[in-house]
Amino acid sequence: HVHLVESGGGSVQAGGSLRLACAASGFTYTSYSMGWFRQAPGKEREGVAIIDSVGDTIYADSVKGRFTISKDNDENPAYVQMNLYLEMDSLKPEDNGMYYCAAEDGVYGLGLGADDYNHWGQGTQVTVSS
């Protein structure tokens, strides 16, 4: 079964950088969509960035130019563990929240809607102080 484990969260001052990682394994199919979502207290979970098995990416407008999603290109989670990354630069207090890795196995080209993803990690906290 799909297994996702996030790491790399922490606390940083505004303007700083953090890199999140998600170890993904157990996929059934070689096609997939994966990405990062975040949820701040009292707010709905929102999509931040998506990448799929063909390498296409989507970013939320609020993070374009500051965040970069990437993955281990030579690995496929249907065969071996693959790492998904989110490089976050120029962090702002509004980037605060719990960040989740999500995946949908067998489908590529999905967007930023959380309802499209059936597999989720446990989350990692990102705190940005002003």
pLDDT digits (tens, 9 = 90+) for 88-126: 999 999 999 999 999 999 999 999 999 999 999 999 999
pLDDT at 111: 96
How far, in Å, CA of 39 to CA of 122, rounded? 12
Q: Please write the tens of the pLDDT for every residue from 7-48.
A: 999 999 999 999 999 999 999 999 999 999 999 999 999 999
**14, 22, 3: which is closest to 87 by C-alpha?**
22
Q: How many beta carbons lie within 10 A of that of residue 40, not counting itself?
A: 14
pLDDT at 103: 97
Q: Please write the tens of the pLDDT for every residue from 51-69.
A: 999 999 999 999 999 999 9
| Phi and psi, residue 115, nearest 5° | -65, -15
pLDDT at 76: 85
pLDDT at 9: 94
pLDDT at 24: 96
pLDDT at 6: 96
**Neighbouring-strand partners of residue 7:** 21
- Confidence category of residue 73, pLDDT binned at 50, 70, 90: confident
